Amino acid sequence: MLKVKDIKMHSAAFEKALKKRNFEAKSYFDQILDLDEKRRLTQTELDEVLAKSNSISKQIGMLFKSGQTEEANTLKAETGELKQKSKLLSEKHDSLQQELKGLLYQIPNIPHESVPTGQTEEDNEEIYAEGDITELDEKALPHWELAKKYDIIDFELGNKITGAGFPVYKGKGAKLQRALIQYFLDKNTAAGYQEVQVPLVVNEASGIGTGQLPDKEGQMYHIGEDDLYLIPTAEVPITNIFRNDMLSEQDLPIQLTGYTPCFRREAGSYGSHVRGLNRLHQFDKVEIVNFVKPENSYQALDEMVEHVKHILQELKLPYRILRLCGGDLGFTSALTFDFEAYSTAQQRWLEISSVSNFEAFQANRLKIRYKDKNNKKQLIHTLNGSALALPRVIASILENNQTSQGIKIPEVLVPYTGFEIID
């Protein structure tokens, strides 16, 4: 969430930057500044009424003590009127505050200056690529057919139990899934991330804090009776660990990692591009989250990108990195790098990770702050990334490593799976 004082100071620059997102901010900014002025005037009037009420209350006490009962009762009547007026002003102030916050929640983060202009994913900028794309023979199969051939993932059984987008992993497929989770966690903890295990459901405040609400409300599974939400990513509960907290400067950076199942409705997702593991309603993901001082956040982003690169290098998967354009940038992100692995059998790139810097956008919603060396309160910067999302990693492993003998397991995973081939 943007700060009102920053909008006041940089409205023209912010309007220009938000055009990269195809977001017209001027009318929002005009309303915000108008509401903020009304809120400030109301607060000033309320403060004056409360001060006058307090002053009269002191006079009443002194009058009663001196035996001037009639004068005291006259002033008591006046304080009653002031209390009623302060109540109305307080309600007006709260209403203006809520209206102001509602508008601020609708404005996305300011994109970093390096974000390219563009409207769709076609305008994203490839900045790095590594790995040779395997030449498969004409009998090569996409992962959903490999899953059926080797009986390792059952999409029809998942459909029977729950519905489309909820696969059942079986035998070596389940072991491969578990092996990847443990491998990712081991890589993250070795890099200094502390592992946490967090709830899979969150309250509304948590969803608002990280920006999933109200922006992506229709994409989250809502438990109506309890007013809770199934998490779309571990980013939500992990980042909310420090909601409303004042952190110590010496504790920063704080690096956390966690494995969770993730749940997304993916409303409106249809077609061949979402077949098999390409897009699911429930999937497993290992997340990394960083809480850092503002001056260190872009160095932290670079380090997170390098960390994910190293994992993909060990898995020996061909991949590329994209810098997302303004039109494809997530609501809360200032800068995002997407990692895509190549699906040889499908002959297309599959997104397997997003690494993002949210700067102070989430921290302002969450009120996560620290005191600097001058004892001044500062908002931290938050970052997160997938390290990694499992479904499309598995799809790429199955498709890129298929042979006439079976599917070869990447060497780095063999100690985790206990087998070298799926046959």
Q: pLDDT-derived band of residue 269, with 50, 70 and 90 as boundaries?
A: low
Residue with tokens 């900045």: 127
pLDDT averaged over every residue in the chain: 94
Domain 121-422 has CATH 3.30.2310.20: no
Residue length of the chain: 423
**Looking at beta carbons, which pairs linking 150-158 to residues 24 or more positions away fall under 8 Å?**
150/406, 150/407, 150/422, 150/423, 152/176, 152/422, 153/277, 153/394, 155/276
Task: Give the model's pLDDT for residue 268.
Answer: 54
CB 336 within 8 Å of CB 330: yes
The full DSSP string for 140-187 is ---HHHHHHHTT-EEHHHHHHHT-TT--EE-HHHHHHHHHHHHHHHHH
Between 5-19, 264-278, 307-321, the lowest mean confidence (pLDDT) is in: 264-278
Cβ neighbours around 62 below 10 Å, total: 10
Give the per-residue pLDDT at 273.
Answer: 67
Tokens, residue 92: 């007006």
Determine how β-strand 407-408 pairs with β-strand 421-422.
antiparallel
Is the separation of the CB atoms in 385 and 297 below 8 Å? no
pLDDT at residue 75 in the model: 76
Lowest mean pLDDT segment, chosen from 95-99, 126-130, 339-343, 372-376: 372-376
Q: Which residues contact 21 (CB under 8 A, 6 or more apart)?
A: 108, 111, 326, 327, 329
Q: What is the mean pLDDT of residues 376-403?
A: 96
79/125: higher pLDDT: 125
DSSP state of 348: E
**Which residue positions form the known binding site for L-serine?**
233, 264, 287, 384
Burial of 204 (0-12, 13-18, 19+ CB in 10 A): middle
Residue 192 pLDDT grade (very low, low, confident, very high; cuts 50, 70, 90): very high
- Count of beta carbons in the 10 Å neighbourhood of residue 317: 23
User: Which tokens belong to 223?
Assistant: 């438990």
Q: Which long-range contacts (CB under 8 A, 24 or more apart) does 122-126 make?
A: 123/325, 123/327, 123/328, 124/322, 124/323, 124/324, 124/325, 124/328, 124/338, 125/322, 125/323, 125/325, 126/320, 126/321, 126/322
Indicate the residue type of 178: R
**What pTM, to 2 d.p., does this model score?**
0.92
Q: Is the pLDDT of residue 270 over 70?
A: no
pLDDT (mean) for 213-223: 84
Grade residue 69 by pLDDT with cuts at 50, 70 and 90: confident
Rounded mean pLDDT, 207-215 = 91
CB atoms within 10 A of CB 48: 12
Single-letter residue type at 177: Q
Instruction: Give per-residue pLDDT as tens, 135-171.
Output: 888 889 999 999 999 999 999 999 999 999 999 999 9
Q: With cut-offs at 50, 70 and 90, classify the pLDDT of residue 73.
A: confident
DSSP secondary-structure letter at 110? Answer: P
> How far is 196 from 8, CA to CA, in rounded Å?
39
Each residue of 98-117: pLDDT tens digit? Answer: 999 999 999 999 999 999 99
How do the domains of the chain map onto residue ranges?
4-104, 121-422
Q: Is the predicted pLDDT of residue 27 greater than 60, yes or no?
A: yes
Each residue of 354-368: pLDDT tens digit?
999 999 999 999 999
pLDDT at 60: 80
**Residues of each annotated binding site:** 233, 264-266, 287, 351-354, 384
**Residue 176 confidence (pLDDT):** 98
4-104 — its CATH code?
A: 1.10.287.40
Residue numbering of the annotated binding site for ATP: 264-266, 351-354
